[in-house]
Amino acid sequence: MVQLHVKRGDESQFLFNTTVDSPLETAIQQITAIYNGRLKVDRICSEIPELADHGITLPPNMQGLTEEQIVDLKLKDEWEDKCLPSGGPVFKEDEVGRRNGHAPNDKMKEVLKRTMEEAKALVSKKQVQANVCITMEMIKEALDQLRGAVMIVYPMGLPPHDPIRMEFEDREDLTGTQASLQVITADECQLWWAAKEMQRGKKLQDYVGKNEKTKLVVKIQRKGQGAPGREPLITDEQQKQMMMTYHRRQEELKKLEEADDDGYLDSEWSDRQALKKQFQGLTNIKWGPR
């Protein structure tokens, strides 16, 4: 198997296994699906703490309004009584005015947060350091874990406008958000290696040969953004080690310079003529008045 270390810019994303005879079209689609799947898990996990702390999302026409404004406009959240957390709600007002404040109790909150951490760890970028390849099965497992936890806490489900439910049903609207800039569709995704775009219609072996035991660092890029930056010749960790070695050597040289004392040259034991002077009776000669 060929192992691809997928990056976006200089940031590691995940490891991906494929074969040299795999069509690049297929590899790009699979890599894009995993990349976007990880983003989906991250988006859901970013909403889970809000759900745990402040309950379900208010209808769009009620978000950001004060209690007085809601009363004046005669607005009512019809999902408030339908979507109650297991064990009963605990009121905790959402200062942003985005959620209704009817939060789950501590036990149910712990279910949500524990599952969130497990799902994040499953598709984490740290899996690169652990040499674990991310697959679509792992993405689906993480989503299933999150979906199951939400169903435990909210057996009646979430309202259709809640972003977590919209993510589960692939109805999320990311227009105008920072998240929309991260998503790359399969059609606009490009795969780069060694400053070359790996063209669709070819196979991986057209670029790297037929050796299956190959490891490559590839970068994904949105079409039209040009070539991504080259990989540095040395990693940050290697540079750090080199600097430490350099400073250690400098300290050693400094100590050697400080120890370079030639005062020993005046000592008797260092005099090359000492034996000759002894035979000639020239030792222990003192100058001065008797």
Give the confidence band of 227 by pLDDT, cuts at 50, 70, 90.
confident
pLDDT-above-90 percentage for the chain: 61
204 touches 20 (CB < 8 A)? yes
User: For 173-195, what is each residue's pLDDT tens digit?
Assistant: 898 889 999 999 999 999 999 88
27 touches 204 (CB < 8 A)? yes
What's the pLDDT score for residue 211? 86
Statement: residue 251 has pLDDT above 70: yes
Q: Give the helix/strand (H/E) hosting 245.
A: helix 236-258
Domain ranges of the chain: 2-222, 236-279
User: For 200-226, what is each residue's pLDDT tens digit?
Assistant: 999 999 988 888 888 999 999 998 887
User: For 13-52, what is each residue's pLDDT tens digit?
Assistant: 999 999 999 999 999 999 999 999 999 999 999 999 999 9
What's the pLDDT score for residue 113? 95
d(CA 255, CA 247): 12
142 touches 127 (CB < 8 A)? no
User: For 125-162, what is each residue's pLDDT tens digit?
Assistant: 999 999 999 999 999 999 999 999 999 999 999 999 99
| Residues paired with residue 192 on neighbouring β-strands, in sequence order | 197, 219
